[in-house]
Amino acid sequence: MDITNSPPIDQLGLIERAAKFRSRSIKKDSKIQGLELALSMIDLTTLEGKDTSNKVVQMCQKAMHLHDGLQLPNVAAVCVYPNMVKVAKKTVGDSGIKIAAVATAFPSGMSNQTVKVEDTKMAVDQGADEIDMVISRGKFLEGEYQYVFDEIALIKEKCKKSRLKVILETGELGSPDQVRRASDIAIKAGADFIKTSTGKISPAATMPITLLMLEAIRDHYVSTGKMVGMKPAGGISDAKLALHYLVMVKETLGDDWLNNHWFRFGASRLANDIIMQIQKQKTGHYQSADYFSKD
């Protein structure tokens, strides 16, 4: 298998195409429907050195009670560090909300494979439904594509039944061509999802980069019939932008990906803006941001 044979990407054309999705005008019912869909795709996230059990519990409560005055779907998952999986799991109970844990020496990935495997195992053993791993960007930039591939395959094996999201950290890869190559490697190595960013590096998710990853997913599906999910993470904080991401998914991959099994937003601030917009669509006016809980 040739893991380096990815199609070239023209950056200007890519940016131009992505901008066209932003010109779609989403109004009325299609807006509410889209906003509710986006809400159901969110992975509420806290990944800080100062995270505590209490903070995680509060975020899990928020996940289950987004805004009780409105009939809203739950978010898809909460995303935490491995040592917070247990408390998160206990808090969300049988609400259907998934627990995602970052692993493999997140966010830098600067450790050896033994540590990365142990990190993953711990999260899986604690009950994480999903593992968000980071690729070894240093190895990738050295041209050690086989190493990167093997590492993803190894972690995938350790995930057992948990779904594996592979974070490419696109902001560190340097060019769209490299992002496409990393996407192809991750997909072929067994990723259930590919994900743009850790949220620790700027730029995080952008529409052009997400588009080219969607195209990698599409090309893989068309030739193998195997679906892979997509998770843009970081930088998506307003409802309108989220809708345009969904437009992009709809027009690139189609209906099968328009659900939270195959598409996620890695975002925390996004939820409140979406709720505020839904409230506005339903009542005709905006409410103060202070009506929406910030956990």
Q: Per rule CB under 8 A, is residue 225 in the interface with other proteins?
A: yes
Residue of 49, 50, 68, 222 interacting with other proteins (CB under 8 A): 222
Q: Per rule CB under 8 A, is residue 169 in the interface with other proteins?
A: no
Closest CA to 212 of 183, 191, 245: 183
Q: Per rule CB under 8 A, is residue 7 in the interface with other proteins?
A: yes
Task: Catalytic residue, from 132, 184, 192, 273: name it.
Answer: 132
Which of 251-254's residues contact partners 24+ apart within 8 Å by CB, and which partners? 251/21, 252/211, 252/214, 252/215, 252/218, 253/214, 253/217, 253/218, 253/221
CB 43 within 8 A of CB 230: no
17 or 137: CB nearest other proteins: 17
Q: Per rule CB under 8 A, is residue 240 in the interface with other proteins?
A: no
Task: Catalytic residue, from 43, 192, 195, 273: name it.
Answer: 195
CA distance linking residue 231 with residue 227, whole number of Å: 13
- Those residues with Cβ within 8 angstroms of residue 291's Cβ, 6 or more apart along the chain or in another chain: none
Q: Is 231 a catalytic residue?
A: yes
29 or 68: CB nearest other proteins: 29
Number of chain residues interacting with other proteins (CB under 8 A): 37
CA distance linking residue 172 with residue 178, whole number of Å: 10
The piece of 48-56, 70-78, 100-108, 252-260 that touches other proteins (CB under 8 A) is: 252-260
Show the CA angle centred on residue 55, arms to residues 54 and 60, nearest 5°.
95
One character per residue 181-220, x = contact with other proteins (rule: CB under 8 A)? -------------------------------x--x--x--
Map the footprint of other proteins across residues 31-60, applying CB under 8 A: 31, 33-34, 37
How is residue 39 written in tokens? 């809400």
Residue of 76, 85, 205, 253 interacting with other proteins (CB under 8 A): 253
How is residue 21 written in tokens? 């999705």
Closest CA to 234 of 251, 259, 209: 209
Q: Is 195 a catalytic residue?
A: yes
Q: Name the residues that contact other proteins, by CB under 8 A.
A: 7-10, 12-14, 16-17, 23-31, 33-34, 37, 212, 215, 218, 221-225, 246, 250-251, 253-256, 258
Active site residue ranges = 132, 195, 231
